[in-house]
């Protein structure tokens, strides 16, 4: 197929570099329009430019997806198919390697079409996988089917230390976790202190407010009994010291078994002990007619100074699944995610993929610290990525779903026409802004409500403006004429942009402080 690519003067080098990476099955030529930036072209001007060349040599013309307006009038005028390609030249090779350009549109950028088609295909895979669970071995938690052999992987989002929350706070937290993708809601209470009445009340509250699977996380027998009687759909964690005490109450619901013996205060850490104690506890549960079991060998935190740690416990998971393929497994991610100073996005993504490799049916997340807030959504997206990658038999990339928040897959460049320009180096020192006589603004990011809050104080009194977008808040400020200095407007634009980024990423926002700081290694050469 012969394709003519239209571009502007500034992007020509980028377009030609992109062509070198395109499939050899395409014969591609470049036509440079007499304008700097292709996005400034119009359908009329494009038709005018193209009348000057021999179009019968080409099967298709591709213009930048950033050009406004439909290319249909150009098609009609020239008698050749004209489509919109991607907005950025760097994406041309990916497009031509994965998509037939004849299927592109004269109206929509290729990016839009590709994203929609890939996303739609991903959705079909997820739905197909979901419907297949009933036909293979599975367990059920309040109507939710959990396959013994994933995919899909189910995400448990646990609210820890629930006893410290008011009822309203608990309901808000549970609602947010459900909205962010939890498949099962978990409740954890005070470690080592029995509070069955609180457990009973909160389990009843959640089951009354939400028609949603609920697991109680406790090893205290009185709390397990209270939780089950109040309506908990699943319990964790069974261990050598509590199985006999609660067995008659949990025979009809799934129960998670861990390698722990409270009678001796012994928590298995290495592979051999984990497998031995886990098998012993499973045997005890079976003997007491508790058969709806889920195994959790327990994922240990990273340990660089001993024989136990994350790698060793991953081996325990893998070996257990080889020995007991009929029992589904649960993997808690929090021991690793909470005990490493790295963004939880990458940690949760990698751990969930490892869970998929070793065939764990459930992953458990908590959002105990600030740095792990958002783990529910991160694990859910990673679990869906694992399902799609499994179905397509490819690594988890280019799936229509990703966890790329702080980095991009491809570098997009913007070229400038510097001909005749005077180049000035900006002063990096922080200068003082002149005070605006109309007033000043104090900005806050309210992560709980998902809003940016801007408090104006000045000659027009005090006004609190709330919104999700910097642009909507800024328009409201302009509409109300709450500033008069250009420097104040520029300052406010910078700060509102930072606040919106903080709201989207979960970062803390402090006015006039940097949102992100690049970490560098320690230089020991000095």
Which residue's structure tokens are 């600030």? 370
Predicted confidence band of residue 431 (pLDDT cuts 50, 70, 90): low
Q: Give mean pLDDT, residues 246-264.
A: 96
Q: Give mean pLDDT, residues 124-150.
A: 96
Among residues 507, 384, 446, the alpha carbon closest in space to that of 172 is found at 446
Beta strands 451-458; 439-446: pairing state = antiparallel
> Is residue 446 a contact partner of residue 452, using CB atoms and an 8 Å limit?
yes
d(CA 342, CA 349): 12
d(CA 512, CA 138): 53
Tokens representing 310 are 């994350």
d(CA 72, CA 52): 19
Which residue's structure tokens are 């021999």? 54
Q: Give mean pLDDT, residues 455-477.
A: 96
Tokens representing 189 are 């209470």
pLDDT digits (tens, 9 = 90+) for 81-113: 999 999 999 889 989 988 999 999 999 999 999
Count of other CB atoms within 10 angstroms of residue 503 = 20
The mean-pLDDT minimum among 7-16, 238-247, 261-270, 426-435 falls in: 426-435
pLDDT digits (tens, 9 = 90+) for 378-423: 999 999 999 999 999 999 998 889 999 888 887 888 888 888 999 9
d(CA 472, CA 476): 6
Query: DSSP secondary structure string, 256-320?
Result: EE-SEETTTTEE--SHHHHHHHHHHHHHHHHHTT---EEE---PPPP-SSSS-SHHHHHHHHHHH
Tokens representing 59 are 């099967």
Which pLDDT does position 413 carry in this prediction? Answer: 81
pTM (2 d.p.): 0.88
pLDDT at 302 over 90: yes
Predicted confidence band of residue 188 (pLDDT cuts 50, 70, 90): very high
For the chain, first and last CA: distance in Å? 59
Predicted confidence band of residue 171 (pLDDT cuts 50, 70, 90): very high
Tokens representing 250 are 């949990």
> Is residue 118 a contact partner of residue 76, using CB atoms and an 8 Å limit?
no
- In degrees rounded to 5, what are phi and psi of residue 27? -105, 110
pLDDT at 433 over 80: no
- In degrees rounded to 5, what are phi and psi of residue 333? -90, -15
CA angle in degrees (0–180, nearest 5) for 344-297-245: 120
Which pLDDT does position 307 carry in this prediction? Answer: 77
H helices of 393-525, where? 470-479, 486-505
Region of residue 53 (phi > 0: left; psi between -120 and 50: alpha; otherwise: beta): beta
Who wins on pLDDT, 518 or 166? 166
> Is residue 364 a contact partner of residue 330, using CB atoms and an 8 Å limit?
yes
Which pLDDT does position 432 carry in this prediction? Answer: 73
Tokens representing 210 are 């939400």
Beta strands 82-84; 60-63: pairing state = parallel
CB-side neighbour CA atoms (13 Å) of 248 = 2
- Is residue 228 classed exposed, middle or buried when 0-12, 13-18 and 19+ CB atoms within 10 A define those classes? buried
């Amino acid at each position: 197929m012969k394709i003519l690519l239209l571009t502007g003067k500034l992007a020509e080098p980028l377009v030609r570099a992109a062509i070198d990476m395109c499939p050899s099955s395409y014969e591609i030529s470049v036509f440079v329009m007499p304008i700097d930036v292709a996005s400034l072209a119009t359908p009329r001007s494009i038709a005018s430019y193209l009348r000057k060349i021999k179009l019968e040599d080409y099967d298709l013309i591709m213009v930048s997806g950033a050009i406004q307006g439909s290319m249909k009038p150009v098609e009609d005028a020239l008698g050749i198919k004209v489509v919109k390609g991607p907005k950025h030249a760097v994406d041309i090779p990916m497009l031509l390697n994965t998509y037939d350009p004849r299927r592109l549109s004269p109206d929509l950028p290729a990016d839009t079409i590709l994203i929609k088609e890939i996303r739609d295909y991903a959705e079909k895979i997820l739905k197909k996988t979901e419907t297949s669970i009933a036909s293979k071995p599975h367990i059920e938690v309040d109507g939710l089917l959990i396959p013994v052999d994933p995919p899909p992987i189910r995400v448990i989002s646990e609210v820890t230390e629930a006893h410290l929350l008011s009822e309203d706070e608990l309901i808000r937290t549970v609602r947010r976790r459900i909205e962010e993708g939890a498949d099962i809601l978990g409740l954890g209470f005070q470690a080592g202190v029995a509070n069955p009445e609180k457990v009973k009340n909160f389990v009843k509250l959640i089951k009354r407010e939400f028609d949603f699977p609920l697991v109680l996380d406790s090893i205290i027998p009185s709390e397990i009994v209270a939780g089950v009687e109040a309506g908990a759909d699943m319990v964790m964690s069974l261990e050598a010291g509590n199985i006999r005490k609660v067995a008659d109450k949990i025979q009809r619901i799934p129960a998670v078994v861990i390698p722990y013996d409270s009678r001796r205060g012994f928590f298995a850490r290495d592979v051999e002990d984990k497998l031995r104690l886990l098998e012993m506890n499973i045997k005890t549960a079976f003997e007491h007619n508790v058969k709806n079991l889920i195994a959790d060998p327990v994922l240990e935190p990273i340990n660089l100074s001993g024989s136990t740690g994350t790698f060793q416990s991953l081996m325990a998971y893998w070996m257990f699944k080889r020995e007991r393929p009929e029992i589904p497994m649960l993997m808690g991610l929090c021991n690793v995610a909470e005990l490493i100073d790295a963004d939880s996005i990458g940690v949760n993504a990698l751990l969930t993929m490892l869970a998929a490799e070793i065939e764990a049916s459930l992953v458990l997340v908590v959002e105990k610290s600030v740095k792990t807030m958002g783990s529910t959504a991160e694990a859910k997206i990673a679990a869906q990525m694992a399902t799609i990658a499994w179905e397509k038999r490819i690594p988890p990339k280019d799936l229509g779903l990703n966890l790329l928040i702080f980095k991009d897959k491809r570098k997009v460049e913007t070229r400038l026409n510097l001909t005749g320009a005077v180049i000035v180096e900006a002063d990096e020192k922080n200068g003082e802004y002149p005070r605006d006589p109309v007033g000043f603004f104090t900005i806050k990011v309210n992560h709980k409500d998902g809003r940016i809050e801007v408090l104006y104080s000045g000659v027009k009194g005090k006004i609190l403006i709330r919104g999700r977008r910097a642009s909507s808040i800024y328009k409201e400020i302009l509409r109300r004429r709450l500033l008069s200095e250009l420097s104040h407007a520029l300052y406010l634009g910078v700060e509102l942009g930072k606040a919106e980024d903080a709201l989207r990423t979960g970062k803390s926002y402090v006015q006039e402080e940097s949102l992100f700081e690049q970490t560098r290694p320690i230089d020991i050469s000095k």
